[in-house]
A and B are shown apart, each in its own frame.
Chain A
């Protein structure tokens, strides 16, 4: 299985400031045939299902604000919220869909400082 790790476990950021979450996979999730990283980021608010924010490591899903961006390749990835808003308080998960069993990171809790 591909093991996903995230750092930090939690962070508190002032409104309007940048939040950065790191994700590492135990093996590369770069698909050589199409040069895409099979890495997604999800946002989960309390009592709700996860919401897909980003797939292929850096492609925003439809309707996702452009303050959310993803970067990285191979085994190391980053989710950045450029200007934190109150509605961004949530747990964020990375997930690999390179190979089954698909696996998630343990999550990073983002709060307002």
Chain B
């Protein structure tokens, strides 16, 4: 089966600009996650969706980050305005249900200059 698809793979923007990342999870997976991975660290959860509803967004910096999964399939993560410290890999992941094994996409690599 096809894996988790993400785009774009790489993005360079100036601080205060905006950026959006797109994710298409594995077919049939109800749970979708966005993780942020800063260089040299493990991934950290930003937001978790169950179908089109938010399950956990406690670590999402809501003043600048937003995410949606309107039809319960694809998802978009937006950063506006970006800060230098937002430079990281944004990983989308999915699982069939909550508590099932989580599979990751290749990531979207953001550099804010």
Our verdict on whether A and B bind, yes or no, reads: no
* Chain B residues in the interface with A (C-beta under 8 A): none
* A interface residues, Cβ below 8 angstroms from B: none
